[in-house]
Chain A
Amino acid sequence: MALTEFLSQLDELAAAAQSAFSSAADAAAVEAARVEFLGAKSGRLKAVQKGLGSIPAADKPAAGQRFNAVKQQIEAALEAAQKRLAGTATQATAAGCDPTTPGTPLALGHLHPITQTIEELKDIMGRLGFSVAEGPEVEDEWHNFEALNIPAAHPARDPLENFYLTTASSGTAPTMLLRSQTSTVQIRVMEHTKPPVRIISLGRVYRPDTADATHYPMFHQIEGLLVDRQVTMADLKSVLRLFAASYLGHDVHIRFRPSFFPFTEPSVEVDMQWQDRWIEFGGAGMVDPHVLRAVGYDPDEVSGFAFGLGVERLCARRHHVTDIREFYKKDVRFLHQF
């Protein structure tokens, strides 16, 4: 075959392929054109390539060069057609779907903020080496009063200041009551454990306060107790500082103000610094020697500190809940905020 004839065949093929690919309206037409022109077995390019063998040797380099150029040209036309159609396909999908619509909702439940606070406080105190101890909510007078250095004549024992309990059958004076503080647990633990003791007790406590923005007759307390040889008030201050710093996420200072609790002496109110202000954190002190003796410890051998805080108040302040009755209003919308 003469070179000129071969070249004109190539030109004709290139033009036909170009027109077929550019006019292909969908993927099927592109595929048909691909098979027609670039098909490995019987494509038209393949057919033209067969003519290459009969070109005179001197013209072969020129013919081969031109063949390769046309082959690339047709392949480029295929690629362009595929790209063009792929682009349309993306637009077509986008028209049928809106990726900004919300995902399928996952109906998760929410923990009560009081539980969340308690868990966080437990976690912090756990890191400081305090293990959780629990005890009964219904207590006898020994654990709620007597062992805590609150003798019978103490005003805190007034029946009107406590929830004393009766059973329908018993006619005798009530001797059981709902605990008014979680310190009862400290007594129960110390009665059965030799020092060192490093615990936190927490849970529900009950006092007959009229419910208002800062009081509720049932609330939660968390109390820490550390008894060992050579435990001092400096240790108390240091542990409370670590506690407060962990809770707030930054270093804070702790301030003690003298106070009075029957079961600690010295007794203090604890303040922590919160944004340049001193705010009340809770009560604390060194375990009263009477209490140590009541559980069979020797106050000359061991000393200890105790501290307690109201969970509702801490939680309310952190989440800006202005009325602690909200915690017990039972509206699930309230729970969903936390």
Chain B
Amino acid sequence: MIVSWDWLSQYVALPRAPDELTARLMMAGLNHESTTRVEDDTAIDLEVTSNRPDCLGHIGIAREVAVLTGEPLNLPAAAPRLGKPAVDSLAAVVLECPELCPRYTARVIRGIKVGPSPAWLARRLRTIGIASISNVVDITNYVLMECGQPLHAFDLARLAGKKIIVREAKAGEKFLAIDHKEYELTRGMCVIADAHRPVAIGGVMGGADSEVTSGTTELLIESAVFDPISIRNTARRLSLFSPSSYRFERGPDPEAVDWASRRCCELVLELCGGELADGVLDVGQQPTPRKRITLRLPQIPRILGIDVPTPEVRRILTALGNKELRADAAAIEVQPPSWRRDLVREIDLIEEVARVHGYDKIPEDTRVPMVPSHRSDEDRVLSRVRDVLTAAGFDEALTASVVDEQTSEAFTPWTDAPPLATTTPLLRGATHLRRSLVPSLLGVRRTNENLANPRIELFETAKVYLSGRNQLPFEEKMIGLCSGRDFAAVVGALEALVDVLHCPQKLEVAEYRHPLFKPGAAAELRLGGKPCGVLGELAPEALKQFQLRGAATVAEVRLAPLVASAVLVPQYQPLSAYPAVERDVNFEVSDSVRWADLAATAQAAAGNLLERLVYVETYRDAQRLGADRKSLVLKLVLRKSDGTLKSDEADAVVTRVVEACGQRHDAKLRA
């Protein structure tokens, strides 16, 4: 809302400097956007919150100033001299759609002369950025910007049948607006029509056929109330946003409807001459009296934390235009003014008292009681996940939750259900809620390859959205990894994660096939036998699909199983004081034997002297071992808790391991 300093000073005495005024207004809720000199006037741009449509006119701002400074408010009387004949002998109004237009008023002035506006009027409009058009049009704009009530002046002579019909638009109805563009109307829009055709879209825009021209001598002045939602929808659908629609969307003062009409007529008579017909055509619902509100005085300290003296409370409420109906030691009962539709409840009055009394009076050093706070297990686990992954060289990426269709379809290991889609894209083309972090991370990898960044190691912890049926989707938090290193390096990082979380179960790796991954370098990850993730090295075709040059390994792990399995308070285990004995065992096995199976057998056979089973290496040599054979070397770390392990005890363990592996896996001991 742009305010003219000169104009505002007509209603209330202003502080000496604009800065002083804007500082006071800002602390009362009108944020200061800018101050600009315009000729010999000053334009002040104030931000008005959506709950205060009363401040969308100079009088509303003046009211605020008067409350803050205690200066008296001088408002125009809006008492035009009445003439003849009776208005209903000159025009008629029919209201057919009270749900779209609850009230419609019209006054008629005849014998006017359209011409340029006087300098003072044109200048005030220029200050607030409105071009001067003619005295009649300028007056309607002036009154709009004075009290916030939009008006429209029709050339009465051009209204067929001298009749206004307020009705709902017909589907497909055409309308030629004042901007000389044709608009196609739909149902739900409010049309002002004469006996033959639409002459305005109610509250949004006037029509070309009935606009005031230099030859106009008879005016019908419309001042009405339109339904805010219908106005918003109409303005949006037609892309017609005007100061009028802006105000009707927010709901102007219903009592101002008649005041604005009279004020407009007063100025027309003064500046354009003519004679005002007697009376007003006023159809529809009259404004209802405001409901009373009781403010219980103890509620003020209860909410604000400070006492405001009762006389001050009463002064503030009255200065704001509330009518005090009753006041005693316990409560004040008021009837709010018509222009403050936002004052309905007790809390609304408390806010008014606080705002005018001043938020600076509220202390900032109360003693808020101390209470413990708790970190969730998930939060603790996530924090360790981030520690491990950054230590392992992964940078944290933050990518959008909504992706384009191609990205969305590239990898969906968790669901076959279609993704949820946004009705408007988040970013260009991005309408699909992602079901995996992996394609997003591969996109980040591509971006960084194109930037020739040398080290591209990425992780992200974020949600994926797995849609359910007619209910909120299942949102699962995932850890995504994308590395330029190989399969084993990424498995190692994930094993470290499981290790740091002290999960009692080992991370198991089961074979997995997916077209995105190289066969043999893809795995399903399990924890305690339950699937918890996928991992794989990208196949050449997949690299091509994601336009990647270098090798890439990706993984996606569900956070929930890690949280469930993590031991966040590990328990002390006594350490043996006796030395460990290490024995390497070199097996020759068929290439189809899996390390995990052999290790499990060795583990079970070794018994409780086994402290640790370590993978040493795999060795393949077609000439020495045969094409489908390999050697698997493992290390047994053995220790006793109650004495030094003797060599023959260690040998016995090795013998058991060798026997068991021989039986289960046809493993032969190599020299």
Do B366 and A258 touch (CB < 8 A)?
no
Do B422 and A126 touch (CB < 8 A)?
no
Do A165 and B433 touch (CB < 8 A)?
yes
Whether A256 touches B475, Cβ cut-off 8 Å, given contacts A155-B50, A166-B423, A168-B418, is no
A258's partner among B355, B367, B391, B393 (CB-CB below 8 A) is: B355
Whether A332 touches B366, Cβ cut-off 8 Å, given contacts A155-B232, A256-B359, A327-B398, is no
Do A330 and B372 touch (CB < 8 A)?
no
Cα–Cα, bound, A239→B453 (Å): 44
For residue B102, give the distance in angstroms from its CB to the closest CB of chain A.
15
CB-CB contacts of A127-141 with B at 8 A, as 1s and 0s? 111111010111110
Chain B contacts to A: CB under 8 angstroms: 26-29, 31, 49-52, 228-229, 232, 236, 249, 301-306, 345, 347-348, 350-351, 354-355, 359-360, 362-368, 370-376, 378-379, 383, 386, 389-402, 418, 420-424, 426-427, 433, 443-444, 447-448, 451, 453, 455-459, 462-463, 465, 467, 470, 472-473, 475
B391's partner among A108, A230, A330 (CB-CB below 8 A) is: A108
Q: Taking the complex as formed, is A310 at the interface, i.e. its CB lies under 8 A from any CB of chain B?
A: no
Do A170 and B26 touch (CB < 8 A)?
no
Residues of A within 8 A of B29 (CB): 257-260
Cα–Cα, bound, A169→B419 (Å): 10
B356 nearest CB neighbor, chain A only: A258
Cα–Cα, bound, A164→B61 (Å): 37
Whether A129 touches B302, Cβ cut-off 8 Å, given contacts A138-B472, A206-B426, is no
Q: Taking the complex as formed, is A97 at the interface, i.e. its CB lies under 8 A from any CB of chain B?
A: no
For residue B326, give the distance in angstroms from its CB to the closest CB of chain A.
21
Cα–Cα, bound, A115→B459 (Å): 13
Chain A contacts to B: CB under 8 angstroms: 107-112, 114-115, 119, 122, 125-132, 134, 136-140, 153, 155, 158-160, 163-170, 174, 176, 178, 196, 198, 204, 206, 208, 211, 217-218, 226, 230, 232-235, 237-242, 253-260, 265-269, 286, 288-289, 303, 327-333, 335-336
Residues of B within 8 A of A266 (CB): 303-304, 347, 350-351, 354-355
Do B365 and A132 touch (CB < 8 A)?
no
Do B391 and A255 touch (CB < 8 A)?
no
Residues of B within 8 A of A336 (CB): 395
Residues of A within 8 A of B367 (CB): 238
B454 nearest CB neighbor, chain A only: A332
Cα–Cα, bound, A95→B225 (Å): 94
Whether A332 touches B418, Cβ cut-off 8 Å, given contacts A136-B475, A153-B229, A255-B360, is no
Residues of B within 8 A of A259 (CB): 29, 49
A260's partner among B51, B359, B455 (CB-CB below 8 A) is: B51
Cα–Cα, bound, A128→B389 (Å): 29
Do A232 and B366 touch (CB < 8 A)?
yes
Residues of B within 8 A of A239 (CB): 368
B420 nearest CB neighbor, chain A only: A165
Residues of A within 8 A of B386 (CB): 111, 115
Residues of B within 8 A of A233 (CB): 303-305, 354, 359, 362
B345 nearest CB neighbor, chain A only: A289
B301's partner among A159, A178, A232, A265 (CB-CB below 8 A) is: A232
Cα–Cα, bound, A178→B433 (Å): 10
Q: How many A-B residue pairs have CB under 8 A?
A: 238
For residue A337, give the distance in angstroms from its CB to the closest CB of chain B.
11
B302's partner among A132, A164, A167, A230 (CB-CB below 8 A) is: A230
Residues of B within 8 A of A119 (CB): 383
Do B355 and A138 touch (CB < 8 A)?
no
Do B376 and A110 touch (CB < 8 A)?
no
Do A138 and B465 touch (CB < 8 A)?
yes
Do B364 and A112 touch (CB < 8 A)?
no
Residues of A within 8 A of B453 (CB): 331-333
B453 nearest CB neighbor, chain A only: A332
Do B422 and A178 touch (CB < 8 A)?
yes
B468 nearest CB neighbor, chain A only: A167
For residue A222, give the distance in angstroms from its CB to the closest CB of chain B.
14
Q: Offer 13 A-B interface pairs, CB within 8 angstroms, sorted by A.
A: A108-B393, A112-B396, A128-B373, A130-B373, A134-B378, A166-B423, A178-B401, A204-B401, A232-B304, A234-B364, A260-B29, A260-B51, A330-B444
Residues of B within 8 A of A136 (CB): 472-473, 475
For residue A195, give the distance in angstroms from its CB to the closest CB of chain B.
12
Do A129 and B372 touch (CB < 8 A)?
yes
List 9 additional A-B contacts (Cβ < 8 Å) besides A132-B379, A258-B355, A265-B347. A109-B390, A131-B376, A137-B475, A138-B433, A138-B465, A166-B421, A167-B467, A218-B400, A233-B354
Cα–Cα, bound, A237→B358 (Å): 14
For residue B407, give the distance in angstroms from its CB to the closest CB of chain A.
13
Whether A137 touches B463, Cβ cut-off 8 Å, given contacts A218-B401, A286-B303, A327-B398, is yes
Do A168 and B421 touch (CB < 8 A)?
yes
Cα–Cα, bound, A253→B348 (Å): 27
Do B364 and A241 touch (CB < 8 A)?
yes
Do A163 and B366 touch (CB < 8 A)?
no
Residues of A within 8 A of B389 (CB): 109
A-B pairs with lowest CB-CB distance, top 3: A234-B305, A232-B305, A258-B29
For residue A157, give the distance in angstroms from its CB to the closest CB of chain B.
10
Residues of B within 8 A of A115 (CB): 386, 396, 398
Residues of B within 8 A of A167 (CB): 418, 420-421, 467
